[in-house]
Amino acid sequence: MPIQVNVANGSITPVGSSLTAGVTFQWLNLGTQVVNLGSCGNWCTQDNFQVQPNGGTTQATVLANPNFNPWAFRDSGWNAPGLPHIQSPGRPASQEKEVA
């Protein structure tokens, strides 16, 4: 089963999977309306996606050098109540840096 990211809540399946640099995954829309995702270009190879309803999927790939910082997500609509919420994927431990 491919890695899938639910457009409504950002959950990733299969359990234990993660989005890291270069990983291909699918956006998954279990809702009843088409979902248009925008401003993904800071961390995906494509900036915009359209995901069909009722279990529709659209393939995407994480950039080789993604920007995982929360401020990198330019589409404020993702944080609006009642709209799809795309959560910033976790940063792999190997990319985390401690600042003194």
Kindly report, residue by residue over 79-99, the tens digit of the pLDDT: 555 444 454 444 444 444 444
* Residue type for position 13: T
Confidence check: pLDDT of 66 > 70: yes
Q: From residue 19, how far is each of 14, 77, 84 by CA, in Å?
A: 12, 22, 18
Kindly report, residue by residue over 2-52, the tens digit of the pLDDT: 999 988 888 899 999 988 899 999 999 998 988 888 878 888 999 889 999
Is residue 92 within 8 Å of residue 58, measured between CB atoms?
Answer: no
pTM (predicted TM-score): 0.71
